[in-house]
Chain A
Amino acid sequence: MSNAQLVSTKVNGDVVEFACPTDEALLDSLRDRVGLTGVKEGCGTGDCGACSITLDGELVCACLVLGVEANGREIGTVEGLSEDGQLHPLQQSFIDHAALQCGICTPGFLVAAKALLDRNPDPTETEIRYALAGNLCRCTGYDKIVRAVQATAKDLRKQSKKAGSKRK
């Protein structure tokens, strides 16, 4: 038996409070207590990346974090990617490239791919493959996923170039 603890945290910008047993993984807290089922459980041991989230901006597996550790931290999940009902360019690109089949791995891939593009807007194919090595997909064979990320990176670079020239 584990004693429960109250956790106050921010998820996708919203203040969220929940109580959870001290030995519960953040993955379970997010799914079962906060209702964010976009965070998927594949392996539960940090090998598959299906539960990828950001914790204070750092990409992590939610299964390797205790729920109680989230107290006072900021969490980002796949549910926070879209804005005003508009899919994030990565999400649209995954659809356009048919970069998913069963979909279980997709939220993790999206969160990890976004973390990559945030820090490296112009990754090579090799860099993309390395950055997504912690995300397992048993359906697509990865090529479509890599292409979807490449296309998004290109689009986002074009957009930011446009925005930059407008500012001038």
Chain B
Amino acid sequence: MRYESPVTTRDAVGLLAKEKGAAYVLAGGTDLLVRLKMGSVEPALVVDIKRIPDMTAIKATKAAFRIGAGVSGAQIGRDKALRKAWPGLVEAAQLIGSDQVQGRCTISGNLCNASPAADSVPAMVAAKAKAVIAGKGGRRKLPVEDVILGPGRTSLKQGELIEAIEVPRPKPRTGDAYLRFTPRTEMDIAVVGVGISLTLERGKVKAARVCLGAVAPTPVLVPAAAKALVGSKLEAPALAAMGAACSAACNPIDDKRGTAAYRIRVASVLAQRAAKIAFERAGGKL
């Protein structure tokens, strides 16, 4: 295994493009090192991106937050401006693993690992985040929901890597929330996860995004659930309709954490709770 730690994105892309064998990007390593140990991957090349200054910082511009692909969960948790803008996204990122895992894990890695139960992904989708993807031909931006194709599969092409996640600045009167249901409070994997962002106008929901995790092969953006909330003040019928839309969008499996039927039911309950938190964060009165 060749280990490289380039200091520019350009060099990282060059290394990945040239490699004929199996090449892996090393961000936090909390998934890759486990797979290395298990022997489920045998890389010819590992490219560590954490020496690339651009990828290890959170940059705030007027329009967006740019979270470098090597930025750890702990770093995200310490960023006050980001936490103020998107508390749900920050909470989702911080739910991943223990403090030790937080010291390493990244949301870009969470996305690339493409687990259906990835905690940060529904929150990123709700916040309308985009992945900044670098490749030999240059850069492209892709909505986060278009990155994951299935368990462990992404739409990144060979030689491409995620350089950063770009989260837009929230519009005025916007709030977000992420909730997950797990048997344990810590160190567990979501049975259901829900990310929601709401933007209000005159106390009513003007726009919404609802994304479910762990209930289908990929995180699911549910426009019907969002639509059920628009125009409402989260009155009971609107919430119930949103919950029903969430349940209808589920395509889960049975596993040791929960049955498919259970997940479908929990998705509705959890989405309603998350919506209320997002609504209050947006300044709404329940």
- List the interface of chain A (C-beta within 8 A of B): 2-3, 5, 21-23, 25, 44-47, 49, 52, 55, 58-61, 63-66, 68-69, 71, 112, 115-116, 130-131, 133-135
Contact = CB atoms under 8 A, between A and B. Distances in A.
Contacts of A65: 29, 33, 104
Contacts of A115: 99
A142 B102 CA distance: 22
A49 B98 contact: yes
B26 interface: yes
Interface in B1-35: 1-3, 5, 26, 28-30, 33-34
Interface of B: 1-3, 5, 26, 28-30, 33-34, 36-37, 46, 48, 50, 72, 74, 97-104, 185-187
B103 to A, nearest CB: 4
B266 to A, nearest CB: 22
Contacts of B1: 2-3, 21-23
Given A112-B100, A134-B98, A66 B29 contact: yes
Given A112-B100, A134-B100, A134-B101, A58 B26 contact: no
Contacts of B30: 46, 64
12 contacts: A22-B3, A22-B46, A25-B33, A46-B98, A52-B100, A58-B72, A58-B103, A59-B74, A60-B103, A64-B28, A64-B100, A69-B48
Contacts, number: 91
A135 B29 CA distance: 19
A46 B3 contact: no
A64 B29 contact: yes
B76 to A, nearest CB: 12
A112 to B, nearest CB: 7
Contacts of B36: 23
Nearest first, the 7 A-B pairs at minimum CB distance are A134-B98, A133-B186, A22-B3, A58-B103, A60-B103, A61-B100, A134-B100
A115 B98 CA distance: 13
B278 to A, nearest CB: 23
Given A2-B1, A59-B99, A69-B48, 14 more contacts: A22-B1, A46-B34, A46-B100, A49-B100, A58-B104, A59-B102, A63-B33, A64-B28, A64-B34, A64-B101, A66-B3, A130-B185, A133-B186, A134-B187
Contacts of B34: 45-46, 64
A64 B104 contact: yes
A47 B103 CA distance: 14
